[in-house]
Structure 1
């Protein structure tokens, strides 16, 4: 995105691009004429270049990011849409499970961006990190997820200051979405049938808006949630 907008052929790396918000971003980028590439544990849609990667291994995430960038002839943008959560009381969530949530959601976000930086600087590209409304408002039984997403908020704000004038940085703060994110949870931690949730395609449209800003203009933060989202403000 050397011109500062999502132009035909712009290469956009999407973590978690096989499902949920990530898959919606992949589809939106492709519709806009861009070239999505994906890091995920599962295969994305047909024909989308990807590398299988468990983002809990942050060094592997860095290596896979560099490999995808080199295969693609560079990167114009990165969208860190991968995320996991295992809710529960701190005393009840095993340490390795708690730490995996923080690693995938926060440390891998930094690792992927770190590896992508040389390519993004060369392209004067854009980063969109994905936090959560639980990155600005804490709730019980979500210590790992809140720790990670509050961390993404702080990381992204610091990154924006650090990269000002070199790479565009946008912090996306979405509310709950209609994805498989909640499927493996205990019933008490799943949204009810009447829950106010957004469609991931609508959130992906906000991502494309951020990616489409002209050179020198950055959308610093975007909050996108259902009108009746209880975790915002």
Structure 2
């Protein structure tokens, strides 16, 4: 397998993003973290920036800052994501649009800023969609819209950058993270034992990042064997 190199991870302070950061470090690579929160204390200050991904200009600038500090990028993993559950007419406009801005616009902004570096290194992008980017659920219009958007964005990006940058669409099912903590009881998984630990999903991210030149894992669905949202 190839060396991991320098990997930028959005949402790297918690959940899947933090699991990817750990996996990169364990593989001997360098993880750069973008998150609205401060990452774990063992992440060097030069390798992390706090940023609100709803601010496109700030997100793009943060990517450039970290890439320049590190002397380039070998990969990007867009693990940052949020949700705001509820019927469309009960979720505020601000909350609904924030989900789309973080999940979709934030993904596009980070990848856009990273592309010049990835083209030099012939690096890779792993975008994080969801099983709800392939099917729908009620009271999740913002999340579904954003993740369906990530699916379309990633497939088009793969076509656009073929032969220049590797692109993988990751479609995870539910994971045992703090993602569900702020939800009301009706929107929490009934049985968290049927959720994957994020470390298992992070292993598949690392597998995609380490593929040899010319070989692409275009799409990966990773979920618990009893995942209720798949197929």
User: TM-score, length-normalised on structure 1?
Assistant: 0.96
Q: What CA distance in whole angstroms lies between the structure 2 residues aligned with 1:184 and 1:59?
A: 28
User: TM-score, length-normalised on structure 2?
Assistant: 0.97
Q: What CA distance in whole angstroms lies between the structure 1 residues aligned with 2:32 and 2:180?
A: 25
**Alpha-carbon distance, 1:219 to partner:** 0.3
**Alpha-carbon distance, 1:195 to partner:** 5.1
Q: What CA distance in whole angstroms lies between the structure 1 residues aligned with 2:106 and 2:57?
A: 9
Q: Could you tell me which of 160, 163, 167 is aligned with 1:162?
A: 160
What secondary structure does 1:222 align onto?
Answer: strand
Q: Give CA-to-partner distance per residue, 1:3-35, whole Å, 9 cap, x none.
A: x8334xx11000000000000000000000000
Q: Could you tell me which of 49, 52, 59 is aligned with 1:51?
A: 49
Q: Please tell me whether residue 114 in structure 1 is matched to residue 112 in structure 2.
A: yes
Q: What CA distance in whole angstroms lies between the structure 2 residues aligned with 1:193 and 1:138?
A: 20
In the other structure, the counterpart of 1:231 is 229
In the other structure, the counterpart of 2:195 is 197
Q: What CA distance in whole angstroms lies between the structure 1 residues aligned with 2:127 and 2:191?
A: 29
What secondary structure does 1:14 align onto?
Answer: strand
What secondary structure does 1:147 align onto?
Answer: helix
Give the aligned CA root-mean-square deviation in angstroms. Answer: 1.0
In the other structure, the counterpart of 2:77 is 79
Q: What CA distance in whole angstroms lies between the structure 2 residues aligned with 1:211 and 1:136?
A: 23
Q: Please tell me whether residue 136 in structure 1 is matched to residue 131 in structure 2.
A: no
Q: Could you tell me which of 24, 31, 46 is aligned with 2:26?
A: 31
**Alpha-carbon distance, 1:56 to partner:** 1.1
In the other structure, the counterpart of 2:122 is 124
Q: What CA distance in whole angstroms lies between the structure 2 residues aligned with 1:77 and 1:56?
A: 22
Q: Would you say the 8 A contact 2:128–2:150 is kept in 1? A: yes
- Aligned pairs, number: 228
Q: Give CA-to-partner distance per residue, 1:59-80, whole Å, 9 cap, x none.
A: 1100100001001100000000
Q: Could you tell me which of 205, 208, 212 is aligned with 1:207?
A: 205
What secondary structure does 1:120 align onto?
Answer: helix
Moved over 4 A (4+): none
Q: Please tell me whether residue 6 in structure 1 is matched to residue 3 in structure 2.
A: yes
**Structure 1 gaps, min length 5:** none
In the other structure, the counterpart of 2:171 is 173
What secondary structure does 1:207 align onto?
Answer: helix
Q: What CA distance in whole angstroms lies between the structure 2 residues aligned with 1:111 and 1:142?
A: 23
**Structure 2 gaps, min length 5:** none
What secondary structure does 1:121 align onto?
Answer: helix
**Alpha-carbon distance, 1:230 to partner:** 1.2
